[in-house]
Structure 1
């Protein structure tokens, strides 16, 4: 009798837990669908000027922006990248504007173009206009690989760490992925931003609710089996 009651209590406890997880996944799905809708609206909107420094903490992720300034080519940073064009590097270059510094991901270069001298045509001085997508900073590093600023090894686009490593002041807390507008000489190659959000929350929710149903069924079986005691 005590064992049956313990089994019933365990089944009910598990059913409640699985139901709660199912509801949580439904809520996560609603949040994810809203996020996808907001990002879709932003990436297809007309480009806008970045906010003033006082509003830099505003959520800018995937907002299309257009900005003018001068590249600080001597302070570029190479971040390891794996793209549809193969492995290589992202070229992140500070852009000095009248509103502070914006870190620009100018795009991809293959290993043989890592040396800035191999893409000298794209290193020219002067005022430039950059159009692209604002992206959230990627702090610390990549999976199992931490950034090592002292050694110049970068695995993620960590805006704050890159700014500190190069002694940059008044830097926006996000970076900009440049669009596919060609650079002189062909490199870096911009416009390679991947926008993809996993949305398996409905599958997860149905799984948790199914497990909840199994636990309820187990409770009924245990309850009925004890009626003859």
Structure 2
């Protein structure tokens, strides 16, 4: 008779552990399904973004946003818009940004473009290899006459990259941080964006424009399938454990 309470307590303890396990597994399955649904939503957002950017890139160029429109420029609505701007390049305020491109390692050449209304836009004129970083080695490309720049509107890249931070004090740059560059070069009334110049050849062949890489990683479908697969596996494990426990009790 002494074994009966012990057996009852053992069964109650087992039932409690099973209930806790089932509760945790239900929470886990719900979380995995939620992550899968979120990735499906991200997939839809990414496909829409790619379609919108592709449309902007191939549209007829429009004038770059003027001062009155600066506050309305956003990444979602304006990045990679095909734009034009006319003015005079301030070559004496050139900034070099470290770059790794399809042409090798070197620098982006960033120069302010002074517009007729007194405002400026930073222009990424293109790429130069390391041995041509000195403007004296590409003097033909230092255009002094008014120019019309056509290219893609880009949003500022503050502070640096994930790997390296900009060092304005030492004039070392790894991203196109509009505000910091303008401050370092004493450029007033500068637009909050910059423009990647297109492939129109510069005198002397440098800088080389038109190297903007437009690529958006789109692995959301793979991620969604992974989360849903894990949810199915977790559900299968839950069914297996519960079924095994029920068989053991019947036995």
Counterpart of 2:28?
Answer: 14
Counterpart of 1:96?
Answer: 114
Matched, 1:224 2:243: yes
Matched, 1:44 2:58: yes
CA distance in 2, matches of 1:65, 1:124: 20
Counterpart of 1:201?
Answer: 220
Counterpart of 2:148?
Answer: 129
Q: TM-score, normalised by structure 2?
A: 0.89
Q: CA deviation at 1:172?
A: 0.8
Q: CA deviation at 1:144?
A: 2.3
For residues 121-145 of structure 1, give each alpha carbon's deviation from its aligned partner in whole angstroms, at most 9, with x where no partner exists: 1113110010000111111111221
Q: CA deviation at 1:11?
A: 1.3
Between 3-12 and 76-85, report the one with greater CA deviation: 3-12
Structure 1 unaligned segments of length 5 or more: list them.
none
Matches within 5 A, 1:38-187: 38-57=52-71, 58-59=73-74, 60-99=78-117, 100-187=119-206
Look at both structures and tell me which one has the larger radius of gyration over its CA atoms: 2
CA distance in 1, matches of 2:240, 2:132: 68
Counterpart of 2:9?
Answer: none
Structure 2 unaligned segments of length 5 or more: list them.
1-13
RMSD: 1.0
Question: Would you tell me which structure has more helix in proportion to its own residues?
Answer: 2
Higher RCO by CA contacts (8 Å cutoff, separation 6 or greater):
1
Q: TM-score, normalised by structure 1?
A: 0.97
Query: Is the CA contact (8 Å cut-off) linking 1:7 and 1:222 kept in structure 2?
Result: no
